Structure 1
Amino acid sequence: MSSVLKTFVVEDDSEQLATLKQIITNHIMINDFDMELTLATGQAQTLLDYVQSHESVEGLYFLDIEYPGQDLNGLSLATKIREADVNAKIVFVSTHSEMAFLTFERRIEPLDFIVKDLGQDTVKAKVETDIRVAYERYTKQGATSKAMFSYSKGGQLFNVPLEQVLFIETGTSRNKLVLHLLDRIVQYNGKISDETVAHPELFRVHKSFLVNPQMLVRIDKQHQLGYFENGETVDIAIRKMHDLVALIKQSDLSVTMD
């Protein structure tokens, strides 16, 4: 998940587009939300092109129902957005209140449906409320989503929080790995080179060891050892020591070095 919630607007009426832009940017600035108005346009296809050309977009989208003269209407656009951004917060701002039921038929799951005819003050208040609700859900989603480590054993996939992983070492037999967790040790089939690629958050300190830098508590430079809170240690290759120390300093980790 990115640190900034991206916000998008598609409104083909230039005056209404300008009004929505002002409401959104002002509310973000006043509340100091980690949000940005990424794209505001009158063309539905422009937004779709953006979403489909950027990976892992998580956004708040303000859409109309109809875009006369365009290939995409708001419902089709929302459906395609939902396919690309499963966590999309979609708000319809439209005069077509009679079309609201179609958003349920198509399983778009909108955050809100704002009727323009309610008046500018009411529309403004509802847009601001939707921004706050979307931002609150976005931040809670980020707080509850944990980085996970996955491994396969006996044909079954297991997931453990990355914060429980200390290190991985090569086993005594070919293509065997030993996963050291906070509360247990697990053996499974695999190659340490593959795990290095699959889990860039881990660091290869030695041909036989892949560590979670977040879990290190001490580095002994003289004896080239890394220590964990439970007393376990790993060897650190001379050529890897400099990069590991640099990573620890860059990440501002609480690791004692001697």
Structure 2
Amino acid sequence: MKIKYSVFICDDEKEQVSLLQKGISNATIMLNGEEKVKFDIINSSTSYQEAADFLDNTSINSGIYFLDIEIGDEIYEKNGLDLGVLIKNKDKAAQIIFVTSHENMAFLTFKRKLGAVDFIVKNGDIADLYDNIEYALKNAVNNIHNIHNAELNTFSYRFGHEIININFSDIIYISTTNVSHKLRLVKTTGWGEFIGKLKEIPEEYNNLVQISQSCVINPDNVEKIDLKKKSIKFINGDIEYFSVRNTRKIKDIFNKI
């Protein structure tokens, strides 16, 4: 099975666009190991506006973006850095690779806090360009993997104006309270409360399981299941009860723990 990565290019030099496309194609071959990868070039734009119009009408998640910093002939025109800001606002996991003819432009990417993956200088050496593209794509893929792994192992909830992220291994269970939409999160390190809808949690986080209308559990932190009493004992000693209709689901969980 191939893992496909969406790639977007914006460079106002058509010849440079072709070189980037060729370099990306070559990298696909070079980076294919046990895990097959495919870089799908979804768009190649030659101006800020053309790129912005495409991005406004397209949803991209964890995309890889090759952006020429100096797009546009006039100093007042929007450039690749402006495009980078637009992309980051739409795709939080965007992997941006800036391309430029001037090496001293690199500091501007840090000043704008765009978190670029790499910075490729156009020096006229095609072999060097292809090597840099391959290196940048390898780093981008690794970053995307790390982001996705972090997401898979992280539970996020809002406490006031703050977003709290915790590891799934720390979650024991989540239950309803007497206050509408206020949920109680029981962790290995204590407990907390947040606003949410219980039924939506297992829909968003597949490794959490709803056992009743009032409780969602982390199966990894279950110590004992009593099918007769329809009770679940957790590693912290707490006990919650599951509904009759969830008995089959609980048996399946029990067989896997």
Q: Is TM more than 0.5 here?
A: yes
Query: Stretches of 4+ moved more than 6 A in 1?
Result: none
Residue-by-residue CA offset, 1:195-253 (whole Å, 9 max, x unaligned): 3335642433213322224444665555534454556443221223446667x5xxxx9
Aligned-partner Cα distance in 1 for 2:105–2:162: 46
Q: Does residue 1:19 correspond to 2:19, yes or no?
A: yes
Q: Does residue 1:31 correspond to 2:31, yes or no?
A: yes
Aligned-partner Cα distance in 2 for 1:231–1:92: 54
Aligned-partner Cα distance in 2 for 1:125–1:59: 20
Distance 1:204 1:46, change over 3 A: farther
* 1:147 corresponding residue in structure 2: 154
Residue-by-residue CA offset, 1:147-177 (whole Å, 9 max, x unaligned): 1253649x98765423211213345x55675
Identical positions, percent: 24
Aligned-partner Cα distance in 2 for 1:31–1:167: 41
Aligned-partner Cα distance in 1 for 2:192–2:127: 62
Q: Which one-letter code corresponds to 1:58 in the other structure?
A: S
* 1:42 corresponding residue in structure 2: 45
Aligned-partner Cα distance in 2 for 1:53–1:142: 24
Q: Which ranges in structure 1 are unaligned for 5 or more consecutive residues?
A: none
* 1:83 corresponding residue in structure 2: 89
* Matched position secondary structure for 1:180: strand
* 1:63 corresponding residue in structure 2: 67
Aligned-partner Cα distance in 2 for 1:92–1:162: 35
* Matched position secondary structure for 1:117: coil
Task: Report if the CA contact (8 A) 1:17-1:41 is conserved.
Answer: yes
Aligned-pair CA distance for 1:62: 0.9
Residue-by-residue CA offset, 1:98-123 (whole Å, 9 max, x unaligned): 65554455444434332323311111
Q: 2:212 aligns with which of 201, 206, 211?
A: 206
TM-score by length of 1: 0.69
Distance 1:254 1:144, change over 3 A: farther
Aligned-partner Cα distance in 2 for 1:133–1:168: 37
Aligned-partner Cα distance in 2 for 1:180–1:59: 36
TM-score by length of 2: 0.69
Q: Which ranges in structure 2 are unaligned for 5 or more consecutive residues?
A: none
Alignment of 1:56-205 (within 5 A): 57-68=61-72, 72-97=78-103, 99-100=105-106, 102-144=108-150, 146-150=153-157, 152=159, 159-170=165-176, 178-184=184-190, 186=191, 188=193, 194-197=197-200, 200-201=204-205, 202-205=208-211
* 1:255 corresponding residue in structure 2: 256
